[in-house]
Chains A and B, each alone.
Chain A
Amino acid sequence: MAAARRLIGFNLLTAIVLGIGGWYAGWFGAHAITGPSLDWFSAADYNEVSVFMAYIGGVIGFLAGLGFLNYPFARLRGYPPSLREKETGGWSRYFSLCTDHKVVGIQYLWGIGLFFFIGGLNAMLIRTELLRPAHQVFPAGTYLTIVGMHGTMMMGMMSSGILGPFANYFVPILIGARRMAFPRIEALTFWLLMAAGGILTTTIFFGGFPTGWTGYPPLESQANAGMDCYILFFALVGISMTLLGLNMIATILTMRAPGLTWTRLPIFVWGVISTASLMVLAAPVLIATLGMAAFDRAINTTFFVAGGGGSNYLYQNLFWVFGHPEVYILALPGFAIVLELLPVFSRKPLWGYRLAVAGLLGVTLLSWMVWQHHLFVSGINGDLRPFYMLSTELISIPTGFTFICGMMTIWRGQIRFTVPMLFCLAWFFNFLLGGLSGVFLSDVPSDVTTHGSFFSMAHFHYTIMGGLIFTFFAAVYYWVPKMTGWQLNERLGKIHFWTMFVFFNSTFAPLFALGFMGMPRRVVTYDPSFQFLNDWVSVSAFLLGISMLVFLFNLVWSLAFKKVPAEANPWGSRSIEFQLPSPVPVHNFDRIPVFTDDPYGYGEGPAPQWVVPAGAPAGRE
């Protein structure tokens, strides 16, 4: 009965109901306004204005149902500021607006995980179609929708793949704070992302979209109403990323505990700053670009229409101004996780701390200057190609800093091959191949052949899946026991690692060869001579999928059935989060800690006692 009563109120259930209500209100409202009189506005079988208004209404209803409007209204009516949403206890806070950063972190983990699996499922469908050179399983339009859904879902969701769950959970703890700077905005970023994921999934009811994750016009302008779902998805992801980044920067700048100087900051926090600054500056470009695209579709503006005063080059330029920093939004958290975990499992200080920071910041800076390397053969600014070739290749210098710092950290260490460590070591292998294949793509003469081929597809899967997803799992195995209070099974973890590592490479390495042999991306048919390698790749991809199921099984088995309590510090880490109980208590610290050193002093004497043990007088903010 008590559980049933919890269903009433501001929570996910209410949000879904109000979201659907808002959707229909927007749909019929927009039809009532534009429908009869402005039919000529759109050359579509759908009234695009209604589609956009419906989803905007839906998002507003969804957020209202979660209770995001309560606080602004309360403030308008003169109530004092509060963080009341934090006090809600029990399981139901995971399904509602909660301002505890630790709850948001766990919400992110499961929410993003859900869409990661949907995206992965799409990859399985793609590989099923490509088992034979002839067009076989799916209609061509459906196939393109699957390709687009896979790319868009992965890019959109995994942009927050590490900052969402792990930075939200651990950055306040690592900097000795009790919360994020803007806890309500923190919750908003998560629920916006879930609304976005829902919207992208509904594209299938509107005929899907044919453009892949890049959404180039004019193809975008001629697409079905499913394209609107893509636009809304990415715009909402952009808003979520901007706010997430802003929140992270504000938190790290203003809320560090006494003694936590910039050179004592854990390297993971530096990675978060780098990523967050890219998010804050890049995602608004995406939002604006998609806004223009939406106007082009709904009310026949011509921002991207050649001959109407616009240009589809404009879209390509703007998209990659966002898109290239975006790939570093995906990659940089991986660098940071690797550098954060290697000292723990080599029991040595992080080697070259300042160089490592310089590497992260150097990549952040350079990633703004390279976007036209996606457009080397497009005919755009042909005379600037040497510059973009140089700037792109320069990125390997700060990336190399990460390599040398990581390598020198394990050098002469006491290496323990735990599951998180294995994933970090795999990062070196994957990112080495991913980075060096990027050299071919950055060189214009080589890029003429490799651009738009399976080679570039293999390249970015090596950097993003091999770089981000592997370190994502390193972080999961390293931190989830701390977050949930339950141990993950180590044997299953090792099985997961080895199957994932082997089948990841066996899936993506042959794609380099296929690209070199001339297979273009996003095709539904291919030359029969490519069949053997494609079949090899497909079978490997299915086995890679099974490896993910091993992980899922481990998660469910360990967290729901086995429930072995996790120790406070299972890894012998000197980092502050491991000096706290597992799971971390609601207010993190009894008293705000004072930092006297960085967390990497392995071999330099006993760990400093940053955390006042429980039982000391509790300080509340």
Chain B
Amino acid sequence: MAAEPMAARPSDGVSHGRRVITAWLVVSAIATPLVVVLVGPLLPPGNASTQASQQVIDNTVITGIVTPVVCLIFVFFVYALLNFRAPKGGALVDGPPLRNHAGIQIAWMVITSVTVLFLAGFGTYELLQNGAGGGQGPSPVAVPGGKKIAVQVIAQQWEFTYRYPGFGGFESHELVLPEDTYVVLHVTSLDVVHSFWAYELGVKADANPRVDNVAFVRTKAPGMFQVRCAELCGLWHGYMYNNGHVVSADQFHAWVKSQQALYKPIAKYLPGFRREYLPAPVRRGG
């Protein structure tokens, strides 16, 4: 179909490119600090642990970087769709045959590459400090220094059991941690794959049978946190949640004493503490 050659538009003398870039810079300069200041504090998972605060920083940095990108695309499209629409009705008119522009291509590649490399570098730096609360497998690479207490998280369909090897190896169905303490979580499973997610603490680590998945978390002030299973584990996956508590050192030791007393009669029946346990035999049921 032969179309009309390009027609002059009233706005053709204008430097559209300069307008869009100016508008973008202005909008980004306003929007980015606003978003960082207003949205930043709302970003998850909060400040209940060092790792959680660290994730908030990561989320804030990423939000701060994506805001100008969103602004660019929005400004561009609003401008383009308002200014470059074909007149209604009438014959088809072709636009200018622009096929390429080396400068734009190079600028675009440089900007995206620098942004991406910065993000990857920043994420790696944050990750390597202490693992950022994620499960690192049996031989963790990002190990924070200092004294830590160990807690083993044993997942099974459909509950978590917590074992305290440093306190005689008693077990509890409730996760209680002392405040201002570094905790090493050893996450494992007795049956299928689960994922231990302590939302407010910023901890997530998959529970695999015969695997000791290690995550580090440093608690802050006393408070409650939620524990959920974040990997589909069968019929009652949706019911696999519980509350945990961060308590003061005194309360923690009192709790440990009470639990040790409670579990004393059955302690001798518990299997010895291991990094991993033989999975239960495969059984059918959803």
Contact = CB atoms under 8 A, between A and B. Distances in A.
Given A347-B92, A378-B213, A432 B70 contact: yes
B98 A349 contact: yes
B259 interface: no
Contact of B232 (A144, A217, A305, A377): A144
Which residue among A140, A214, A601 has the maximum number of chain B CB atoms within 10 Å of its CB?
A: A140
A376 B134 contact: yes
A34 interface: no
Interface residues of B, number: 102
Nearest to A413: B95
Contact of B97 (A377, A578, A602): A602
Interface in B21-57: 43-45, 51, 54-55
Interface stretch (A24-32, A120-128, A244-252, A414-422): A414-422
Contact of A523 (B98, B132, B238): B238
A452 B235 contact: no
A445 B134 contact: yes
B232 A211 contact: yes
Contacts of B238: 135, 140, 522-526
B80 A440 contact: no
A517 B1 CA distance: 54
Looking at A217, A352, A414, A606, which has the most chain B CB atoms within 10 Å of its CB? A414
A436 to B, nearest CB: 4
Contacts of B45: 449, 518
A382 B86 contact: no
Interface in B96-133: 96-101, 104-105, 108-109, 112-113, 116, 119-120, 123-124, 126-128, 131-133
Given A210-B232, A306-B211, A517-B44, A572 B92 contact: yes
A382 B237 CA distance: 26
A408 B73 CA distance: 12
A444 B132 contact: yes
Interface in A168-207: none
B261 interface: no
Interface stretch (B2-10, B162-170, B173-181, B266-274): B2-10
Contact of B59 (A43, A446, A523): A446
A444 B134 contact: yes
B94 A410 contact: no
Contacts of B96: 348, 412, 603
B231 A397 contact: no
Contacts of A590: none
Contact of A45 (B123, B126, B204, B284): B284
A380 interface: yes
A473 B81 CA distance: 21
A218 B190 CA distance: 11
Contact of A572 (B1, B58, B193): B1
Given A444-B134, A518-B228, A525-B238, A377 B104 contact: no
Given A223-B286, A417-B85, A400 B108 contact: yes
B195 A410 contact: no
A355 B112 CA distance: 14
Nearest to A416: B86
A394 B113 CA distance: 8
Contacts of B93: 347, 414
Contact of B77 (A380, A428, A448): A428
A451 B204 CA distance: 8
Nearest to A411: B80
A391 to B, nearest CB: 9
B44 A518 contact: yes
Contacts of A428: 73, 77
A64 interface: no
B258 to A, nearest CB: 29
Interface in A332-365: 346-353, 355
Contact of A140 (B109, B135, B286): B286
Interface string A206-223: 000011101011110111
Given A223-B286, A378-B213, A414 B206 contact: no
Contacts of A448: 51, 55, 132-134, 202-204
A346 B96 CA distance: 10
A381 interface: yes
B235 A411 contact: no
B210 interface: yes
A533 interface: no
A297 B112 CA distance: 47
A506 interface: no
B191 interface: yes
A523 B239 CA distance: 8
Contacts of B62: 439-440, 443, 446
B180 to A, nearest CB: 21
Contacts of A386: 120, 123-124, 127-128
A356 to B, nearest CB: 11
Contacts of A621: none
B84 A415 contact: yes
Interface in A374-414: 375-383, 385-386, 389-390, 393-394, 396-397, 400-401, 403-404, 407-408, 410-414
Contacts of A413: 84, 95
A416 B87 CA distance: 8
Contacts of B223: none
A353 B116 CA distance: 23
A544 B259 CA distance: 52
A287 B18 CA distance: 53
Contacts of B285: 222
Interface in B174-219: 187, 191-193, 195, 197, 199, 202-206, 208-211, 213-215
Interface in B237-286: 237-239, 278-279, 282-286
The winner among A212, A351, A607 for most chain B CB atoms within 10 A is A351
B199 A436 contact: no
B284 A222 contact: yes
A552 B116 CA distance: 42
Interface string A132-143: 000100001100
Contacts of A351: 98-101
Contacts of B140: 382
Contacts of B137: 378-382
Contacts of B224: none
Contacts of B94: 347-348, 414, 602-603
A190 to B, nearest CB: 31
Contacts of A410: 80-81, 84
B229 interface: yes
Contacts of B16: 411-412
Contact of B279 (A44, A307, A606): A307
Nearest to B188: A379
Contacts of B221: none
Contacts of A425: 77, 81
Contact of A43 (B54, B109, B113, B282): B282
Nearest to B122: A443
Contacts of A301: none
Contact of A412 (B65, B84, B108): B84
A526 B199 CA distance: 14
Given A444-B123, A602-B3, A414 B84 contact: yes
Nearest to B196: A377
A43 B206 contact: no
A382 B84 contact: no
Which 8 A-B pairs have CB atoms at the shortest separation, nearest pair first? A379-B213, A524-B238, A445-B132, A452-B230, A523-B238, A603-B94, A379-B137, A382-B136
Given A446-B59, A449-B199, 11 more contacts: A216-B192, A219-B232, A352-B101, A397-B109, A397-B112, A404-B105, A404-B108, A410-B80, A443-B62, A449-B202, A603-B95
27 contacts: A43-B284, A135-B238, A140-B286, A141-B235, A212-B232, A216-B232, A218-B191, A312-B208, A348-B94, A378-B208, A379-B137, A379-B213, A389-B123, A394-B120, A411-B80, A413-B84, A439-B66, A443-B119, A444-B132, A445-B51, A446-B55, A446-B62, A448-B203, A452-B204, A518-B44, A520-B228, A523-B237
